[in-house]
Amino acid sequence: MTYDFLDSELLSRLGALPVESRVPMMGSMAGRHRSPHRGSSVEFAEYRKYVPGDDTRRLDWKAFARSDRFYIKEFEADTNLRAYFVVDASGSMNFAGQGESKVAFARRIAASLSYLLVNQGDAAGLSVCTEKLHLEVPPSRRPAHLQRIFETLRTLEPEGETGLVPALHQIAEKIGQRAFVVILSDLFTEPEGFSEALQHLRYRKHDISVFHLMDPQELSFEFERPHRFVDMEDGTSVVVEPTLVVDEYHQALNEFMSSVRAKCHDANADYQLVPTDTALEPLLREFLTARLPKKGGR
């Protein structure tokens, strides 16, 4: 089955860029990502003193000649990556003003990155959350598993109020090992609650990325006549003359976005504000390139 939210040519062009973790991972398979465990891969980590029972083949005789003491060479053991894509499916994600709907954009990001991860031998999973529903597709590295992720994304119908914060807490508790957690949401929730969920994920040592999806019309608030604005989550509405509230709106919006950005920074989470008229390929290319190990290190 073909999916209109997947661009095979784009995926082919991005295929040469790996999806890297920013923090050491703990997986069950050999892979390309750093592990907090020490092993004997080709990447030197540090020396430590020899203790009886250590593998004598890893003794550094040059260090012994210099210090007359036995030292063991330790290396970084590489492992595989498990990724969880957390898609906010609240009613506000259906909004489409001057761009495509926020949920459509989230669908394209999650599907594209899932494909790239599984294609490089890593595992991808999906969590879809509303106030009443938390639907989860557990991570897997099997190519056939992608079909289940794509089908779940295809049939996604946002409605109701957001359940993002409790879903993130649930994910933080449920994931037993370090993982790559990608959050796709307009973040219309209380910043303090969102901050607590991010800190929960950070405490569990997960690598967190946040795509803050906003429609250009939400950012500009450019309306020429009175409008009835309807809350897409709880259905309440209000009639407003935009020119009378535009300054107050921008002030509130800027305070909200500054708070969200600061909460992500405090939790060491990657944060990107993404208007939904953004071209997908340069967005993903920049995202993947920024995660590559710096020259001379990992």
Domain ranges of the chain: 8-17+81-290, 33-79
pLDDT at position 207 is 94
- pLDDT score at 54: 65
What pTM was computed for the model?
A: 0.80
Q: Where are the beta strands (DSSP E) in the chain?
A: 33-49, 71-79, 82-88, 123-129, 134-140, 180-185, 207-214, 227-230, 237-240, 270-275
Instruction: Determine the average pLDDT of the residues in 185-199.
Output: 96
Per-residue pLDDT, averaged over 251-273, amounts to 96
Residue 215 identity (one-letter amino acid): D
Which has more confidence, 16 or 110?
A: 110
Nearest to 210 by CA among 92, 109, 74: 109
H/E stretch holding 90 reads none
Please report, for residues 19, 22, 131, 287, the alpha-carbon distance to residue 292 in angstroms, rounded to integers and kept in the order given: 8, 8, 35, 9
Residue 118 scores a pLDDT above 90: yes
Rounded to an integer, the average pLDDT of 238-251 is: 92
What is the model's pLDDT at position 85? Answer: 96
User: Higher model confidence: residue 230 or residue 31?
Assistant: 230
Q: What is the pLDDT of residue 154?
A: 95
- Given CATH 3.40.50.410, say whether it is the number of domain 8-17+81-290: yes
Per the CB < 8 A criterion, the answer to whether 172 and 146 are in contact is: no
pLDDT at 34 over 70: no
Average pLDDT of span 25-43: 45
Mean pLDDT of the chain: 85
What is the enclosing helix (H) or strand (E) of 106?
A: helix 102-119
Instruction: Name the β-bridge partners of 209.
Output: 182, 270
User: Looking at 51-60, 190-199, 221-230, which range is the least confident one?
Assistant: 51-60
